[in-house]
Structure 1
Amino acid sequence: MRPSPVRTWLILVVLTLATMAVGLPATAAPWLAGLVVLALALAKGRLIVLDFLELRHAPPLWRGLVTAWLWGVTGLAFLAGLVPLLLAA
């Protein structure tokens, strides 16, 4: 059964609001807030890829390649956020 686009859109809205809730307040551990924001972005990207780009029923190779790309971009963003912390130490 194919997920409803409206259901997916509502989940994306909730994840976006969660991203704003995590990212806006000043926290004691900004690196942790950044990690949560990146994880939420990864979840949103996966939903978009699977449901709006319709890769949910695509061959596993395509799904795997695009998912690996999402993980790679998220991982590089995480590493880019770590560089200032490592240089400051």
Structure 2
Amino acid sequence: MRIRKKELGDKNLVGARIETARRSRGMKQKELLAQLQVRGVDINASALSKLEGQLRIVTDMELLAFAEILDVDVMWLLTGKET
């Protein structure tokens, strides 16, 4: 597992929680990218890394796909709280 070199950015609220959920499932970024592709969300490894590092904005379509793939609630991704 690589250590993040840069501090978290301020471009989104969900990136760190996406990374947390992905890691808690033992999922690699490559696996997450493949599942996103299947759902028609086309982002590359660099974009995912920037998104998780909160250095890139997240679209509504991406947000829904992340919630579905990671089996988490959209509100948890946005707020850290369950509904």
Higher helix share: 1
Q: Which has the larger radius of gyration?
A: 1
- Structure 2 length normalisation: TM-score? 0.27
- Larger RCO: 1 or 2 (CA < 8 Å, sep 6+): 2
- Structure 1 length normalisation: TM-score? 0.25
